[in-house]
Structure 1
Amino acid sequence: MSSEVRTITDAEFHDWVRAVATGFLRPPDISREEVDVRRTTTDLARTLGAFDGGRCVATLRSFTQELTVPGGTAVTADAVSNVTVAPTHRRRGLLSRMMAADLAAAEERGDALATLTAAEYPIYGRFGFGPATWTTEWRVDVPRAGLDPRWSGPGDGGRIDLVDGAEVRKLGPELHDRMRAARHGVVSRDDHWWRVFTGDVRHPGGGTWIEPFYAVYRSPEGRVDGLLVYRADDKWEAKVPHNTATVSDLLADGPAAERALWHFLLSVDWVTTVDSGPRAPDDLLPLLLPDPRAARITTHADFLWVRLMDVPRALEARGYQGSGSLVLEVHDATGLSGGRFRLDADPTGSACAPTTESPDLALPLGALGSLYLGDESAVRLTALGRAEELRTGAAVRADQLLRTSRRPWCPDVF
């Protein structure tokens, strides 16, 4: 019997949450309390399930998200999450059917982009997604780093204060909005996100809540320009501390705040190791240290994946550091977003529209998604055979237009 793919009803939500847990290898004994908490932030009209004999065997949901693109514009995206297929129902096309339904709905809504964070790399390229940001984590050997042990605070007239979760809920959203307006790749956070992050709302079954330390950097003018959230363990050997501080979040509106918060954390007494948490690959951290070799990379991986739903609108929404024109032949296996488009880019504005002109560069939609936020190189994709240069010099010209001086960064999994 073939499985039915459709949006779920309120009565089916418990079974759907149980299927999500099963797919992610989490205990499937979901409490009513957990279901009720999850229900408050779930739009059933954008929640899909595959049902076999009345049992939910595959899941997908989406929600509205804003993604900052190069130039600082926040573009509305269809954020895809909670994608699972039960191990008993693999290789039956259920993911393809759910994804097709969600992307068709996103196109009808007029979303310019779709986004997701991929648990497994090989899955989403066939749906037109490409890895658009990467993440790096460092482990810092603090004694080796060579920082001044006498450091007692920022030397720029600013200050660092410890605060509590309630104050973070007041200060954090405004700081995050300022930061994401200046850093492409960052996605929006709603009020529920901040409440969960600070322990004001706790998901049953989420483990024991351990209150973190919250530190804010205030500029010389008194404005909160940085937030650091970290936890520390308590490990001693022979009366000598060997404690690790692990960063959960570090937001900074400007390099002064970022440098001050890293210096603060690396100077905390008894902390001998700092785990940075997910950062941009070009984060200030390693080169901030007198001895950058004290920071060892522990993780480097793809993170945010992007699919252009409306190619002209998406390319017009982002900014460009140079001027020029490029005709792209974009192949989309789903049939939703492909075509031939002429991009006329300029730092003061840009235009993109369908065209019948001869193309300069041909590439699949997923490759364009990798190029979109400025991280990937068209020259490299051409060398890999993932793009085809139809006019000499087109890949170099694409890089001159699309690449950015700083790498995009998405700090949030969803």
Structure 2
Amino acid sequence: MSDVRSVTEAEFEDWLRAHAVGFLRPPVVTPEQVDARRGQFVPGRLLGAFDDGRCVATFRSFTQELTAVGGASVPADAITNVSVTATHRRRGLLSRMMAQDLAAAKERGDVVATLIAAEYPIYGRYGFGPATWANEWTIEVPRAGLDPRWSGPGDGGRIELVDGEDVRKLGPELFERFRRLQPGAVSRDELWWQVNTGAVRFYDDWTEPFYAVYRAAHGEVEGLVAYKSDETWTGKQPDQTASVLGLVATTTAAERALWHFLCSIDWITKVKCGYRGPDDLLPRYLPDPRAARIISHADWLWLRILDVVRALEARTYDGAGAVVLEVVDGRGSPRASEAERGGGLAAGRFRLEASPDGASCTPTTVSADLTLDVGELASVWLGGESLLRLVALGRVQEEREGAARKADALFRSPGRPWCPDIF
């Protein structure tokens, strides 16, 4: 049986090689790559499965903060770099690593665990549920109807091109202001800014993108976009695509100006917007919204509730009411025990009393209004899913007639959550 345990610093290179193999990348790790990723090594937060001394499965978690409905931050256990070598699949290695990590997160006091799922069917087994969704659009610039003579914002603000060093100075403070406004957004540490501006390079194929900021008339930076462009020409005519790597803004004026800027660049005939939230205003910014064609719509951030009481008390509620929830926790691979798959961490019956003035959540023994899996609770916690839909799908059991409609109104949020990051 493979040994699942924390990875030592001396084993870090072997762990990185196993991770590359698991993601079907070349099974070679250079000393430069090891040095570049050294900042990801945090004792106890890297797990591996070892067979005869060789790493055959990888798992990493790190400290993160997640914005709840209303703007409060909750501590999260961010999970990433999950892989199992093809020769060791279906042996319960992921279940064992997951259980060890979630137990440690619960002990630390993390309210939720987060991840971006490479494949949909995997993580529901461990109590995760899809909590945010994302769209990708391609804008056909000539059809968009924008003024071709546009030369900049008309509100006194301006667009400035900056470089990676500027982004490392301006970006963190701007993003923190944005994150407080956006449920579902997660924190970015210093290493994130270094990696995403090329100061630290995990791989050899780094290409410097363009960066542009929107500076308001009063001088404050309110928006930032990073994008790349290809070099396509068709029939001696420029036919280039600007691919957005990320765009965040704290005001609609900044967001509108940055999208207009991208669509006004000479030679650009298409703009790929990257992953945007389901409530994004982008298509309606265009005089002809049909010029923005959806090319994908899929789940994005997945959540796993670890502390029901703190999670439900952390968010805000626009309405007032009370509901008793029976939270079921313990599904997983039939080959894994409940302890191995992290079951039972959030199980219980809870009474939520909420109003715009605050919320209290307490364990209770009174009869439940709704019974739901912890993964379904994660899907509705950020306001991105409807309890009524989940009842109709057979994923939530209504124990008291009318309870689902009442609870659905309570959990709804003014806008749908969005996570602009992948990790």
Alignment of 1:130-209 (within 5 A): 130-203=129-202, 206-209=203-206
Structure 2 residue identity aligned to 1:382: V
Q: Over residues 195-242 of structure 1, what are the superposed CA-to-partner deviations in whole Å (9 max), with x where a residue is unaligned?
A: 111111112xx2432221111111121110000111111122233110
1:358 maps to 2:367: yes
Which residue of structure 1 lines up, in the alignment, with residue 335 of structure 2? none
Q: Over residues 100-146 of structure 1, what are the superposed CA-to-partner deviations in whole Å (9 max), with x where a residue is unaligned?
A: 10011011111111001100100111111000001110001000111
Which residue of structure 2 lines up, in the alignment, with residue 243 of structure 1? 240
Which residue of structure 1 lines up, in the alignment, with residue 75 of structure 2? 76
Distance 1:189 1:8 in 2: 24
Structure 2 residue identity aligned to 1:19: A
Which residue of structure 2 lines up, in the alignment, with residue 388 of structure 1? 397
Q: Which one of the candidate residues 251, 263, 268 is aligned to 1:266?
A: 263
Structure 1 residue identity aligned to 2:294: I
- The answer to whether the Cα contact below 8 Å between 2:150 and 2:264 also exists between their aligned partners in 1 is yes
Structure 2 residue identity aligned to 1:84: S
Distance 2:39 2:367 in 1: 51
Q: Over residues 307-333 of structure 1, what are the superposed CA-to-partner deviations in whole Å (9 max), with x where a residue is unaligned?
A: 110000111011111111110000000
Structure 2 residue identity aligned to 1:103: L
Distance 2:192 2:98 in 1: 25
Alignment of 1:23-42 (within 5 A): 23-42=22-41
| Residue 36 (structure 1) shift | 2.0
1:343 maps to 2:343: no
Q: If the length of structure 2 is used for normalisation, what is the TM-score? A: 0.96
| Residue 284 (structure 1) shift | 0.9
Which residue of structure 2 lines up, in the alignment, with residue 50 of structure 1? 49
Which residue of structure 2 lines up, in the alignment, with residue 86 of structure 1? 85
Q: Which one of the candidate residues 322, 326, 336 is aligned to 1:325?
A: 322
Secondary structure of 2:352's partner?
strand
Which residue of structure 2 lines up, in the alignment, with residue 367 of structure 1? 376
Secondary structure of 2:274's partner?
coil
Q: Over residues 21-54 of structure 1, what are the superposed CA-to-partner deviations in whole Å (9 max), with x where a residue is unaligned?
A: 1111111111122112212222131111111111
Which residue of structure 2 lines up, in the alignment, with residue 222 of structure 1? 219
Distance 1:270 1:399 in 2: 48
Q: Over residues 50-102 of structure 1, what are the superposed CA-to-partner deviations in whole Å (9 max), with x where a residue is unaligned?
A: 11111111111111100001000111000111111111111111111110100
1:254 maps to 2:255: no
Which residue of structure 2 lines up, in the alignment, with residue 15 of structure 1? 14
Which residue of structure 2 lines up, in the alignment, with residue 376 of structure 1? 385
Structure 1 residue identity aligned to 2:370: L
- The answer to whether the Cα contact below 8 Å between 2:9 and 2:41 also exists between their aligned partners in 1 is no
Structure 2 residue identity aligned to 1:28: P
Structure 2 residue identity aligned to 1:402: F
Structure 2 residue identity aligned to 1:235: T
Which residue of structure 1 lines up, in the alignment, with residue 338 of structure 2? none
Distance 2:385 2:329 in 1: 19
Distance 1:234 1:70 in 2: 42
Distance 1:238 1:57 in 2: 50
Distance 1:313 1:186 in 2: 18
Q: Over residues 339-390 of structure 1, what are the superposed CA-to-partner deviations in whole Å (9 max), with x where a residue is unaligned?
A: 0000111112110010111111100000001111100000000011100011
Distance 2:195 2:45 in 1: 22
Structure 2 residue identity aligned to 1:34: Q
Structure 2 residue identity aligned to 1:278: Y
Secondary structure of 2:18's partner?
helix
Structure 2 residue identity aligned to 1:339: G
Distance 1:173 1:374 in 2: 26
Kindly tell me the number of residue pairs found equivalent between the two proteins: 411
Percentage identity across paired residues of the two chains: 64
Distance 1:211 1:343 in 2: 49
Secondary structure of 2:353's partner?
strand
In structure 2, list runs of 5 or more residues that go unmatched: 331-342
Distance 2:195 2:6 in 1: 26
Distance 2:348 2:282 in 1: 42
Which residue of structure 1 lines up, in the alignment, with residue 276 of structure 2? 279
Structure 2 residue identity aligned to 1:190: D
Distance 2:261 2:405 in 1: 42
Distance 2:277 2:145 in 1: 23
Structure 1 range deviating more: 392-401 or 124-133: 392-401
| Residue 190 (structure 1) shift | 0.8
Secondary structure of 1:150's partner?
coil
Distance 2:38 2:211 in 1: 29
Distance 1:45 1:237 in 2: 53
Distance 1:258 1:170 in 2: 20
Secondary structure of 1:45's partner?
coil
Alignment of 1:120-139 (within 5 A): 120-139=119-138
Distance 2:243 2:71 in 1: 30
Q: Which one of the candidate residues 391, 408, 413 is aligned to 2:417?
A: 408
Q: If the length of structure 1 is used for normalisation, what is the TM-score? A: 0.98
